[in-house]
Amino acid sequence: MNIDKYLKSDRTVIDIANDIKYRKLQRDDIKTLVQDKRIRACFFGGEITGKKPRSEWDREYLNTVSYAPVAECFNEEFLFYLDEVADHVVKLEQRKKRFKIGAVVAVVIAIAVTGIIVGCNTRKNEKTEETSYAAESYYQC
């Protein structure tokens, strides 16, 4: 990880927060960042206010938390909290996406099976009708 790329910008705290939000930086990278004296010199503020319980973490909340460096705080606690929220939200979104894909696959399979069953029953009924017609014709003679 290149720490200098963050220090070349006047948006150091915002760039770091965005890279955590978009999962370009994760826990191990953050551990490295917070050990750097130049990054620590950018720290300000205290505790994060307005924390929500994990059950309320979603994309909107992640966006809100990622804006904290603009007005509230930028410190080690914030970086690890943002990482935790971002990790949770990304995994939640991936689970929802997999569920939707699974649901679509299940519907497609159900439609295919229904089509096969209807097709087989229709074919079976046609053969029964042909046999019945042939029998009726035979007995009429």
Q: What is the 3-state secondary structure (H, E, C) of 71-115?
A: HCCECHHHHHHHHHHHHHHHHHHHHHHHHHHHHHHHHHHHHHHHH
For 9-40, the pLDDT digits (tens) are: 788 899 999 999 999 999 999 999 999 999 99
For 113-132, the pLDDT digits (tens) are: 888 888 787 766 666 555 55
Burial classification of residue 68, based on how many CB atoms lie within 10 Å of its CB (0-12 exposed, 13-18 middle, 19 or more buried)? buried
pLDDT higher for 91 or 49? 91
Distance CA 106, CA 102 (A): 6
Indicate if the alpha-carbon torsion angle 119, 124, 125, 126 is positive or negative: positive
Q: Of 92, 5, 65, 3, which Cα lies nearest the Cα of 40?
A: 3
**The pLDDT of residue 43:** 93
What residues does 44 pair with on adjacent strands?
74
Distance CA 134, CA 130 (A): 6
* Domain assignment of residue 58, given as a range: 4-140
Domain count, the chain: 1
